[in-house]
Structure 1
Amino acid sequence: MGRFVDIAVFRAHRFSLGRDAETGALYLSTPVSGFNRAAEYEAYFRISAEAFEQFRADPDAAEAFLEACRNHEHEDRRLA
């Protein structure tokens, strides 16, 4: 088992929810592009238990947060 353990995957919305096995933090992961847009990679962002449950019940509710993550607006929430 790896560090990041997906609990729910929403392929149509291009994100997953899970738990960081090292820290216990809940996360949302999504593909993001580098600043030069030359490469896309999976990034993991710490979220609250409330956000986890909200996004799990209603994936559409994650749209604004996802867009902000993809635009590098939540770098303070990035998990290593």
Structure 2
Amino acid sequence: MKFNDTFINTDERFTIGIEAVSGKYYVSIHVSNRLVDYDEYYEISKESYELFLKDPSAALIFVERCKARQEDESLMFKPGADRGVAT
């Protein structure tokens, strides 16, 4: 998979983008576990993608839900046993 970020929020540590191979839209958040830092990718609709680009505060609401693990059904990759914590 090739993730192409189209919006980066360095203060809140999230990105919005399009995965090049599948064309799926996503929001990613930065997480850390005891061994490694990595990103979790959450699939979003085209409508959400367009809204989040126009209104990053709307994206922040979604990001907070992701950090609280309330959007796990949207994860593009299921986490392993040592799942990280949002940073």
TM-score by length of 1: 0.78
Q: Which has the higher helix share?
A: 1
Distance in 2, Cα, partners of 1:11 & 1:52: 18
Distance in 1, Cα, partners of 2:37 & 2:75: 16
Q: Is the 8 A contact 1:28 1:44 kept in 2?
A: yes
Taking only aligned residues, the RMSD between alpha carbons, in angstroms, comes to 1.8
* Higher RCO structure, 1 or 2 (CA under 8 Å, sep 6+): 2
Structure 1 portions without partners, runs of 5+: none
- How far 1:32 moved relative to its partner? 3.2
Aligned runs of 1:55-66 on 2, under 5 Å? 55-66=52-63
Provide runs of 4+ in structure 1 moved above 3 Å.
none
Structure 2 portions without partners, runs of 5+: 78-87
- Identity percentage over the alignment? 33
Aligned length: 76
